[in-house]
A = this chain, B = another copy of it.
Amino acid sequence: MSTADVAVIMGSQSDWDTMRHAAETLEALKIPHEARIVSAHRTPERMYDFARSAKADGFKVIIAGAGGAAHLPGMVAALTTLPVFGVPVQSKALSGLDSLYSIVQMPAGVPVGTLAIGVAGATNAALLAASVLALADPALSQRLEAWRAARTGAVAERPA
């Protein structure tokens, strides 16, 4: 049983440069989380085990990042009814358009809430997870509001 609310999973070590922004944002919002490498293609059994037991393990939200023919978010979503948020990692040849299509174009029945390609998407996956968890956690709701307010306050009036 994990004590983390959010699992941040990714297809390979190389995705961590992107996905660390999800972890850092969860950290900033004091949301217990855990980062793991779970490859749909290289470790399909691990993926099955992870997804099948994620709910029982205590996770509430899953953030999954992958690039290219990015099957991880959708396959995990097929194996659990927890909310799954997908992050298309920017790929070399197609700049993440392949990742985006592979994650967002899920057929009716198995949803993946997809965020932007790359770092912005990883950060936003964490914020979306926070907004979900905040529904039942007023203190987190306040931290999230504060995070947003701080961002708003940091916007200068004029470019420099």
A residues in contact (CB < 8 Å) with B: 10-13, 15-16, 19-21, 35-37, 39-44, 46, 48, 60, 67-69, 71, 74-75, 77-79, 81-83, 85, 90-98, 100-120, 123-125, 127-128, 131-132, 134-136, 141, 144-145, 148, 151-152, 155-160
Contact = CB atoms under 8 A, between A and B. Distances in A.
Contacts of A148: 81, 109
Dominant secondary structure at the A interface: mixed
B155 A43 contact: yes
A106 B124 contact: yes
A113 B116 contact: no
A16 B159 contact: yes
Contact of A81 (B114, B125, B134, B136): B134
B111 A78 contact: no
The quantity of this chain's copies bound in the complex is 8
Given A41-B78, A71-B75, A113-B85, A101 B97 contact: yes
Among A75, A92, A93, A114: residue with most chain B CB under 10 A: A93
Given A36-B157, A75-B75, A108 B82 contact: no
Nearest to A89: B93
A150 to B, nearest CB: 10
A148 B108 CA distance: 11
B113 A81 contact: no
A148 to B, nearest CB: 6
B101 A19 contact: no
B145 A81 contact: yes
